[in-house]
Amino acid sequence: MDFFNSQETLTTIQWTLRAIITFVFLLFSVKLMGQRAISQLRLLDFIIALIIGNILAHPLSDEQLGLEGSLITTGVLVILYIFSVFTSLKWDKVRSFFEPPPFPLIENGQIVYKSLVKARISIDFLLSELRKEKIEDIQKVSLALWEPNGTISVFLTPQYEALTPTDMHLATNAFTFPKTIIKEGKIDLKELTRDGKDDVWLKNRIKQTYNAEVKDILLATIDDEEKLKVFLYK
């Protein structure tokens, strides 16, 4: 366990052990903090990611720095992060500090310049985000909100919204999501047996319909009506 402490030099094995332990420790730390920490990089998430990255990076590049202190410090930060998240869920004032409410950048087709200054973004950035949503005319936008995580939510004026089957009074079928039963030449038996099917049935169906073998298939899906879609390697 000498590699935990400050050393004049470290062997290749000791460097490797430091890297492995740090990786596993960070993996469990992020798992403990929850999916939010990596899916939504907000103020609190950004701070914790920045600090932990710096703390754990130094012992992995400098043998004269011990690893134990970095792990303890990171553990304390993880606890503080979790405490802050749960506190923000319980008290509105704390939540509004870490996650301030969204504010409008565009209202009724007009740019709110003060909000651009508050968000510290330029008109060019705003136009770029609108283009990503395939919106070429600002006046088509009823409301655009600057969200706490730095994204923009856009709502079009009703007359520019795409028509839906409900608008046209059309009957629709229930939503079904196809199940992946073959991926990269391997059958997912667990998913297949949920529909009361087995690999023999699947192989026969593929042979009859596509004249192919399972190993030739990149992806295969099946829906609730047993409609099979097969994508072969090319």
Residue of 88 and 214 predicted with greater confidence: 214
Say which CATH superfamily domain 103-160 falls into.
bsu07140 like domains (3.30.240.20)
| Minimum mean pLDDT range among 74-83, 130-139, 144-153 | 74-83
Tokens of 153: 């939510």
Instruction: Identify the DSSP state of 161.
Output: S
Q: State how beta strands 217-222 and 186-187 pair.
A: unpaired
pTM of the predicted model as reported, rounded to 2 decimal places: 0.58
Q: Is 28 exposed, middle or buried (0-12, 13-18, 19+ CB in 10 A)?
A: exposed
- Per-residue pLDDT at 52 exceeds 50: yes
Q: Which band of pLDDT confidence, cut at 50, 70 and 90, is reported for residue 26?
A: low
Tokens of 57: 């990076």
Beta bridge partners of 154: 144
- Residue identified by tokens 């130094």 is 58
103-160 and 179-232 agree in CATH topology = yes
> Please, what is the average pLDDT of the chain?
80
Topology given in CATH for the domain delimited by 179-232: CRO Repressor (3.30.240)
Domain ranges within the chain, ordered by starting residue:
2-95, 103-160, 179-232
pLDDT tens digit string along 178-220? 899 999 999 998 888 887 888 898 899 898 888 888 889 999 9
